[in-house]
Amino acid sequence: MRQILIIGAGKSTSVLIKYLLDQCEKQDLFLKIGDIEPDYTSEIIAGHSRCEAIFLDIFNEENLEQNVKIADIVISMLPARLHIEVAKACLKFRKNMVTASYISPQMKALDGEVKKHNLIFMNEIGVDPGIDHMSAMQVIARIRDQGGKMLLFESFTGGLIAPENDTNLWNYKFTWNPRNVVVAGQGGVAEFIQEGKYKFIPYHRLFRRTEFLAIEGYGKFEAYANRNSLDYRSIYGLEDILTLYRGTIRRVGFSRAWNMFVQLGMTDDSFTMVNSENMSYRDFVNSFLPYSTTDSVELKMRHNLKIDQDDIMWEKLKDLDLFNDKKKIGIKNATPAQALQKILMEKWTLQPEDKDMIVMYHKFGYELNGERKQIDATMVHIGKNQQETAMAKTVGLPVAIAALKILNKEITTPGVQLPIKKEVYKPILEELEKHDIIFKEKHTDYLGYNPLGEVGG
């Protein structure tokens, strides 16, 4: 019986575990799910004879190594910064490894040793990164095989609330780690290229420079730029491309509203606030506004942000109960970002029957036989409920499928890698289609950024 060790049992693991449990008899598998709170996993496995929930602390070297040593492959679903601890143990005991996270510099540094021992450390195999890589490379490879030249590649992904459960003025609820939403875009400048011109967006301007897009049957969306799109020129082999832009999808109007928090400083995670545990929500807001002996917090905020009383932006702020003087932040030495997250979670947490939605949109502009063409590829997947979310499915399934393909020696190229090789993306995308994760393509002429021939740049 082959053993798969899954380390970390957070929200994204429920579908991953279920998929592998369904394969246990046929594939002769036994699952060990290690977490510092194994009781959480017991609910998911429900006494399955080929699965065991165990206590596992990655900072306890003996505990970690004794479990890695007897596994046939290791899946790490821990926070990204912790994968390296698992990776070192996998390298020591010559075990293949799969994660859904971006390849860190520390992980990349292991590439030589991983190849030397003919191991596979597959990373970036969730939804974004993951399904975005695979679906993009499949189309790019097809265009190249036909003799086409890539001119443009844009890629956008968003975790949103499904239309039937879209019940607040922000058109948004948390479908993933709330902290990642609150601090999104910080710590760097968004870099990309459009029609051969390099573009840069600093954090304080990020949410006011958005692209707009529409998906048939689901309406209009907006997207703000991800940190560094330029990295993907070498990853995808697009060194000569004129336009390369990657971003995060939200419903139209979200970014303008979110920018209010950015401008006030409420998303800052670099300092802690004195007496934060005793602050009311109203106190928290007021701490970012000028002192006044006469003006109310509401009036100061409207004046500071230049919001009219009948502006929808004002209604969005009130919708969050920001001016409540009874509710407390309740977090000692909280950063502004942590305090804001606490407030938002009260309003934006998924309810038991809420359904989330993953939206992905790729645009490919290319030249073939002297003609300019465009492919718009879209994928929308809606979850079942608060537990079986679209996010958990689109993260967990690719991880599970990749682990099985590596275990069965269907994926064999060694090294620290992401899923951009055909031996990886082709079978995984085919399997995902069986689970209704499907891309629809629309083919049109490519007009570029200046269809009327205006001078721009």
- Res. 184: pLDDT tops 70: yes
Predicted pLDDT at 450 = 46
DSSP 103-135: PPHHHHTTHHHHHHTT-EEE-S-BBTTBHHHHH
| pLDDT for residue 19 | 94
Could you tell me if residue 60 is inside a domain? yes
Residue range 354-399, pLDDT digits in tens: 999 999 999 999 999 999 999 999 999 999 988 889 999 999 999 9
pLDDT for res 349? 94
With tokens 């990349």, the residue in question is 108
285: in domain = no
- Residue 447 pLDDT grade (very low, low, confident, very high; cuts 50, 70, 90): confident
> What are φ and ψ of residue 70, in 5° steps?
-95, 0
| pLDDT for the residue 446 | 86
Answer yes or no: is pLDDT of 427 > 90: yes
Q: What pLDDT digit, counting tens, does each position of 277-326 carry?
A: 999 999 999 999 999 999 999 999 999 999 998 899 999 999 999 999 99
Nearest Cα residue to 300 out of 287, 312, 313, 311 = 287
Q: What is the pLDDT of residue 455?
A: 38
Determine, yes or no, domain membership for 70: yes
Instruction: For residues 154-166, give the mean pLDDT.
Output: 96
Q: How confident is the model at residue 449 (pLDDT cuts 50, 70, 90)?
A: low
217 domain-assigned: no
Total domains in the fold of the chain: 1
- Residues linked to residue 197 through DSSP beta bridges, in sequence order: 194
Domain contains 99: yes
pLDDT of residue 32: 95
pLDDT at 46: 74
- pLDDT band at residue 453 under the 50/70/90 scheme: very low
237, part of any domain: no
Per residue in 69-85, pLDDT tens? 999 999 999 999 999 99
pLDDT (tens digit, 9 = 90+) per residue, 246-272? 999 999 999 999 999 999 999 999 999
In a domain, residue 53? The reply is yes
Structural domain range at position 106: 2-123
What per-residue confidence (pLDDT) applies to 386? 85
Q: Between the CA of residue 285 and those of 153, 162, 291, what are the distances in Å? A: 40, 30, 12
Q: Domain of 114: which CATH number?
A: 3.40.50.720
CB count within 10 Å of CB 49 equals 9
Name the average pLDDT for the chain. 94
Residue 432, token pair as written in the block: 């995902």
State the pLDDT confidence band at 143, using cuts at 50, 70 and 90. very high
Alpha carbon distance 70, 330 (integer Å) = 44
Has residue 451 got a pLDDT over 60?
Answer: no
Q: Which long-range contacts (CB under 8 A, 24 or more apart) does 113-119 make?
A: 114/414, 114/415, 114/416, 115/414, 115/415, 117/91, 117/414, 118/414, 119/90, 119/91, 119/94, 119/95, 119/414
pLDDT tens readout for residues 317-349: 999 999 999 999 999 999 999 999 999 999 999
Residue 278 within any structural domain of the chain: no
- Give residue-wise pLDDT tens across range 119-141: 999 999 999 999 999 999 999 99
Collapsed DSSP state (helix, strand, coil) of residue 154 = strand
* CA distance readout (Å), 374 to 78, 238, 245, 263: 38, 16, 15, 37
Residue 309 is predicted with a pLDDT of 85
